[in-house]
Amino acid sequence: MERFNFEMADVLVVDDQASNIQLIYQVLHSDYNIYMARSGAEALELIKTQRPDIILLDVYMPELSGLELCRMLKGNPIYCDIPIIFITSFTEPEQEVECWEAGGVDFVQKPINQLTLSKRVKAHLTLKFQADVLKRLVNLDGLTGIYNRRYFDEQGAIFFSNSQQTNVGFSVVMFDIDYFKDFNDRYGHLVGDDCLKKVSFCINRLVNDDHKLFARYGGEEFILLISEASLLDVKSLIESICNAVAALKIPHESSKCSAYVTVSAGAVYCDNPEIARLNDLVEQSDVQLYRAKDAGRNQVFLKEILNPF
């Protein structure tokens, strides 16, 4: 996720001329981590692994030009927030327009004025980190640090719509801590808060990849979306999550189903997401959760939906 200290931010410099890269390196290397690429293709590879905080991009490069690379990054939701400053030598106003339209945030003209370069980089990194802090406040749950309901409502729909395109198994899982009201009554609200943090951290650790979206759905209720996993894999993941929570061994003397804190899970697996609706799947997973609660808690109910209609 985003970083908060821009003192040692990662700066990617993309230029086919080694002398330009060298000059920029001289100006910035004492303040930032500098990564270098000599072509658009090389830059793309680096961006995937290093996820730079800012990119300084030469406009004219053979094969993949700076403009094309910029358009590609701005069109990709994973990379679109990385600010791109064009390093330019052009004189025509139309060329400037092209850079703005491609999605650049600023320009530095060649020959490079060193002070201007360092001031521009610092200014855009500051803006980027401020925006990251705001995004963090808006998207993350204040208590547990995992994604909140607002983020889920917004990104869950996008996540689901991407899964509809691949049309491979999609699952929704609801987790709910058992007898949590009794836990609060027995140990106090602050210990309850601590329990929520531990449980959410424990689950989050097990679902941290691009095929899963995990969020706090309500008070002691969590939701997990899983794309492109078989029914068997989903079953085994849910079981390992429930076991991991139990293995935290958080004492729960008021629970009627275990000596420790446990979760119940309700899930639906749909092998044909293309013709399903996310809201229906969430509702149905909630029904399964209630069945798990009714059946005594500390258990998993998973329903396979072959035809959502």
Ligand X SMILES: Nc1nc2c(ncn2[C@@H]2O[C@H](COP(=O)(O)OP(=O)(O)OP(=O)(O)O)[C@@H](O)[C@H]2O)c(=O)[nH]1
Q: What are the tokens at 215?
A: 């969020």
Binding mask 136-165 for ligand X (x = CB under 6 A): -------x----------------------
- Closest approach of ligand X to the CB of residue 192, in Å: 3
Please count the residues of this chain forming the interface with ligand X, following the rule CB under 6 A: 17
Question: Where on the phi/psi map is residue 94: left (φ > 0), alpha (ψ -120 to 50), or beta?
Answer: alpha
Element (H, E) at 290: helix 278-294
Q: Is 110 exposed, middle or buried (0-12, 13-18, 19+ CB in 10 A)?
A: middle
Contact status: 256 vs ligand X (CB under 6 A) = no
Pairing of strands 221-227, 212-216: antiparallel
Between 20 and 184, name the residue whose CB sits nearer to ligand X. 184
Count the Cβ atoms, other than its own, within 10 Å of residue 17: 14
Phi, psi (rounded to 5 degrees) for 152: -60, -45
Give per-residue burial for 148-173: e unless 16+ CB within 10 Å, then b.
beebbeebbeebbeebbeeebbbbbb
Out of 297, 298, 301, 305, name the contact with ligand X by CB under 6 A.
297
Contact status: 189 vs ligand X (CB under 6 A) = yes
Residue labelled with tokens 């094969």? 63
- Closest approach of ligand X to the CB of residue 165, in Å: 35
Contact status: 242 vs ligand X (CB under 6 A) = no
CA 247 to CA 267: how far, in whole Å? 21
Which residue stretch of 29-37, 150-158, 188-196, 276-284 sits at the interface with ligand X (rule: CB under 6 A)?
Answer: 188-196
- Closest approach of ligand X to the CB of residue 297, in Å: 5
Q: Where are the beta strands (DSSP E) in the chain?
A: 10-14, 33-37, 54-58, 84-88, 106-109, 170-177, 212-216, 221-227, 263-270, 300-305
Contact status: 15 vs ligand X (CB under 6 A) = no
Contact status: 12 vs ligand X (CB under 6 A) = no
Which residue stretch of 19-27, 97-105, 179-187, 237-245 sits at the interface with ligand X (rule: CB under 6 A)?
Answer: 179-187
Between 179 and 269, name the residue whose CB sits nearer to ligand X. 179
Which residue stretch of 38-46, 100-108, 171-179, 206-214 sits at the interface with ligand X (rule: CB under 6 A)?
Answer: 171-179
- How far is residue 167 from each of residues 155, 238, 271, measured CA to CA in Å? 18, 21, 7
Beta pairing partners, 172: 225, 268
Between 79 and 187, name the residue whose CB sits nearer to ligand X. 187
Out of 29, 48, 150, 181, name the contact with ligand X by CB under 6 A.
181
Between 15 and 178, name the residue whose CB sits nearer to ligand X. 178
Which residue stretch of 36-44, 68-76, 165-173, 185-193 sits at the interface with ligand X (rule: CB under 6 A)?
Answer: 185-193
CA 259 to CA 247: how far, in whole Å? 11
Out of 120, 124, 252, 293, name the contact with ligand X by CB under 6 A.
293
Out of 147, 170, 179, 301, name the contact with ligand X by CB under 6 A.
179
* Residue 31 DSSP code: T
Contact status: 180 vs ligand X (CB under 6 A) = yes
- Closest approach of ligand X to the CB of residue 249, in Å: 18
Task: Give contact residues for ligand X (rule: CB under 6 A).
Answer: 143, 176-182, 184, 189, 192-193, 196, 219-220, 293, 297
